[in-house]
Chain A
Amino acid sequence: MKRLLLPLVLVACARTPPSPAPSLPTTVAPVPLPVEASAVALPTPATHTILPTAEVAQDASIYDLPAELVDQNAKAIDLAVWRGQPTVVALFFASCPQACPLLIGNIQYIEKGLTAAERAQLRVLLVSFEPVDDTPEVLRRVAKKYGLDTTRWRLARTDADTVRDIAAVLGVAYRKLDDGSFNHSSVITLVDAEGHIIARQDGIARSNEPVGPAIAKLLQHK
């Protein structure tokens, strides 16, 4: 079994950069911390910028997950709506100020690197973290704003429970905040015609690697 390893990058933004903090549990400095809100780095990652490597099984299909969605045209679809075509899947939400525009822009950047024939074969599914506010109308507006080709792109929402499932199969961390927005990791996932995860990449950094070349390779073998 070949495992794809991908560092996930968290999209979250603290007002102050994290202070260099000790790892746990044995090396925590026994310094009395007078205030409750002391910034401390999480114990697991080896570096400050990257989450632990996520393991993805190639012999698993994300289409094994029963997940009912509603698309931007208020049509009931499921996660496997693009079965049969190579598909890029990502989680986002409409009111996301920075990370999601970058994510969508990055998928468009990947598309630009493809030939017209390759692009015509690629499908995109964007699923919202936000079960209530991201109505089909809001999703249509997002599609319009970014000039998305809705013959190949679907934007969809689902219930909170199903968001949890989809995030789990894509290895996405997220947390709903008091103000209704989300902190979340940003990742672009490429699945093949049958929903097997082929490649994943950071959603934020402008790059087409490794998803772009993987799309081309998938289509060569088709």
Chain B
Amino acid sequence: MNINSDIGVWIAALLTLGVFSALYKETALFRFVESVFIGVSAGYFFCIWFFSVISPAISDGVEGEWHIFIPIITGILILVLRENRFSRFLTVPASLLAAVFIALNFIIYFRAYIVDMVLSSVQPLVVFDDKGGVNWGLTINSIVSVTGTVSVLIFFAARRYPDVKMIRGYGEIGRFYLLVAIGTSLGYTLFSRILIFAGRFDFLFSEWLGIRFY
């Protein structure tokens, strides 16, 4: 056992124990740690944003790139025009920011989320290998994929047309696919959270208390 003498490690360890105290019940210590976390995060984020985004932008603007001041002034206007007699003009800077955001993201969403996804969904049901025989692995994969895509789409249609038996029947298959997807997603999330939990214990015992059995 070799307890760490670093003050930062001690603070981190005590705050971790404070968070873990909520596993028993919500204690005053947990509420204190929660407040510290929010306060420190806000301060840290402000510094990062100021020195990484705002300050370089102002420097560039002063050095002649005047167009940088357009988003800066727009942002300031959103803060200034709230809840006063000029608040009706708030829509002008807000719509400008929204328009820029949409313009930048339209390319990404249209190409990556619509074009690519549709293209990758359109595939042959029977896949052949180089020798001309059927590649059963990829063929089954393809059939499962196409069945899933179609049945999930029908599942949402079934909510609109609940009286059509065929749509409702296929919709049930879609529901099965959705449940499998949600279950898989939850399983992955659980695994990730277990690792975070184990990570904190590893920190407490190995780094803080210096206990290692091997």
The answer to whether A and B interact is no
* B contact residues vs A (CB 8 Å cutoff): none
* A contact residues vs B (CB 8 Å cutoff): none
